[in-house]
Amino acid sequence: MKKLKIGSRKSALALWQAETVAAMLRNNGWATEIVTIETRGDKIQNTPIADIGGKGVFTQEIEAMLQQGAIDLAVHSAKDMPSQLPEGFSLIAFTEREKVNDVLVSLNAGISPADHKTPLCIGTSSVRRVALLKHFYPHIMTVGMRGNLQTRIKKMTSGACDALILAYAGVKRMNYAHMIVSELAETDFIPPAGQGCLAIEVFETIHPDLKAQIRECLNHRETEDALTAERAFLETLKGGCSIPVFALAKCLGEQIRLTAGLISLDGADLLKTTMTDNKAYARRLGEKAGRHILDAGGEKILSEIKSAPK
């Protein structure tokens, strides 16, 4: 049996993710090797993702390695994946999802976003999180914060901000859960498509039998159904890192319920819908929700975002 080469970014969190996938493969009899790759998003740390290209900033270099055959599969945070992949690439598996919530991390356990009397500065470079903070907590100031999780926590410790808003999954996986001071309700801070799970990407030259075996080993069907709906919504809105779009699907027996929407950059206009369909029609559900949001004012919001000064 051949050794599977797994492509990954170099950050501690990315390597945790790659090792998790490698362990799943090893438990099924495969030998594995992790190949680390530095992406454009990793190299440029002081610029918002939206300003350095948005689509594929964490994937292009890894995809080049896949296309060259230097690696057999790539492990990504599913939320980093653009709604449309380059020709020849596909996502063949999604691992079981972690809790999806955004959380507030701070050295000060007494911090609360609901405290309107105490000035609070939160670090984040996510356009979705900034817009939602403006909508639900307009008294809070934000400051741009790029870098891996450890870098951001170091910046916060040095006084760059009072707290960080991060995905629970990454905080837990890097053993910083003790620093969580507030868990933001997923009903308000609805996560981006894919938050909390890993996506496995391959190139079309992979042998069909190998592709099927990797999928059988790694794919969590319920998570895949949820991500199918979320990513179809994202694709319908042509969303990326520069668009404050959100989507969360949950499987309920044979049904799947999707809550998704879009918010203006200033947080003033929030569009949200919840729809349900059979799991067999997850993609149709995401597309339907996307068209509903576009018709309900989303086209106008997207136009304003695209014309906003950079």
Given the residues 42, 51, 72, 80, select the one marked as catalytic: 80
The whole-angstrom distance between residue 260's C-alpha and the CA centroid of its chain comes to: 14
What's the CA gap between 140 and 250, in Å, rounded?
30
Element (H, E) at 228: helix 221-236
Measuring CA to CA, how many Å separate 238 from each of 134, 189, 200, 248? 23, 20, 21, 17
Per the DSSP assignment, residues forming a β-bridge with 247 are 260
- Is 274:257 a contact under the CB 8 Å cutoff? yes
Buried b (16+ CB within 10 A) or exposed e, 122-140: bbbbbbbbbbbbbbbbeeb
What's the CA gap between 310 and 302, in Å, rounded?
14
What's the CA gap between 264 and 54, in Å, rounded?
17
Instruction: Give every CB contact of residue 213 below 8 A, 6+ residues apart in sequence.
Output: none
DSSP state at residue 72: S
What's the CA gap between 161 and 152, in Å, rounded?
10
80 is catalytic: yes
Instruction: Give every CB contact of residue 191 below 8 A, 6+ residues apart in sequence.
Output: 79, 100, 101, 102, 167, 246, 247, 248
Tokens of 63: 């995809």
Active site residues: 80
